[in-house]
């Protein structure tokens, strides 16, 4: 069975959701503490939110099968830090929960060989699919657009101070997309009053946004890190916390961002 699912669309937009996977292979599960098997730090229910938007627009959609505890698809393959000097954070193969508690049983953390094996088995196929789909879109349409979707709990002291804005748009400080596209997306966020927002704040875009966003080569990329309070009840078990009413309020805002991407010509 494939480690990802790719739904190819008819417009030049690819939506990537690299942290929605929740499965953990048995051989890895045996190394983890029991709490990790619930995959609590996944981007819960994000595919449920984005898939109808992708289908309505005719956008491509790429989703992984496995949990970020297996490997983090939004980290560089050489495991260099995305935010040098920042406190907290997780690597290519995370060893700690977002609460800073250990993921692995004592003495069971993966060694360099195990990390390399996971990179080949899980990370590389996802990125080959991502790069291949962007190449297909660029060949067909003359350019490609990448929207990297994420979600996170509103407060995680190990990773950041205080409460995050609801919608955190990242453009790698303007390197991953054109100034015109960044301005149009910022205008969408500024034009609504329901959700607090920031552009290139704490989350500027991870490896996917930074690596694939090359506006000079016809590929523009942005990341949206959305607080889970926008579409979930964060007080509940995340597996059962999807909030239909809340999701119905944030979905049009995300849809407007996606539409602006499609409307902005390179």
Q: What pLDDT, on a 0 to 100 scale, did the predictor assign at position 90? A: 74
Mean pLDDT of 67-81: 94
Q: Which of 250, 200, 238 is closest to 98 using CA atoms?
A: 238
CA-CA distance, 255 to 237, in Å (whole number)? 27
Asked if residue 241 has pLDDT above 90, the reply is yes
- Residue 127 — pLDDT band, cuts 50, 70, 90? very high
Give the percent of the chain with pLDDT over 90.
Answer: 91
Asked if residue 112 has pLDDT above 60, the reply is yes
- pLDDT tens per residue across span 188-238: 999 999 999 999 998 999 999 999 999 999 999 999 999 999 999 999 999
- Residue 1 — pLDDT band, cuts 50, 70, 90? low
For the chain, give the mean pLDDT. 95
Q: Which two tokens stand for residue 19?
A: 């942290």
What is the three-state SS of 171-189? CCCCCCCCHHHHHHHHHHH
């Amino acid at each position: 069975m494939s480690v990802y699912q790719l739904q190819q669309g008819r417009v030049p937009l690819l939506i990537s959701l690299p942290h929605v996977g929740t499965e953990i292979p048995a051989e890895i599960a045996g190394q983890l503490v029991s709490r990790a098997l619930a995959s609590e730090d996944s981007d819960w229910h994000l595919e449920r939110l984005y898939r109808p938007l992708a289908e309505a627009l005719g956008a491509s959609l790429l989703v992984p099968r496995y949990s970020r505890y297996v490997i983090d698809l939004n980290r560089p393959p050489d495991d260099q830090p995305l935010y040098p000097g920042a406190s907290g954070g997780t690597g290519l193969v995370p060893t700690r929960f977002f609460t800073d508690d250990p993921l692995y049983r004592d003495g069971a953390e993966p060694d360099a060989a195990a990390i390399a094996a996971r990179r080949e088995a899980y990370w590389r196929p996802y990125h080959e699919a991502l790069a291949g789909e962007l190449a297909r879109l660029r060949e067909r349409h003359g350019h490609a657009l990448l929207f990297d979707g994420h979600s996170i709990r509103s407060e995680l002291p190990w990773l950041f101070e205080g409460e995050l804005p609801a919608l955190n748009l990242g453009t790698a400080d303007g390197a991953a997309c054109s100034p015109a596209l960044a301005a149009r997306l910022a205008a969408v966020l500024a034009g609504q009053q329901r959700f607090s927002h920031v552009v290139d704040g704490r989350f500027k875009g991870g490896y996917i946004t930074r690596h694939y966003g090359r506006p000079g080569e016809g590929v523009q990329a942005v990341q949206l890190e959305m607080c889970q309070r926008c579409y979930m009840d964060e007080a509940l078990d995340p597996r059962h916390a999807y909030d239909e009413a809340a999701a119905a309020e944030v979905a049009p805002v995300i849809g407007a961002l996606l539409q602006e991407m499609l409307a902005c010509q390179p």
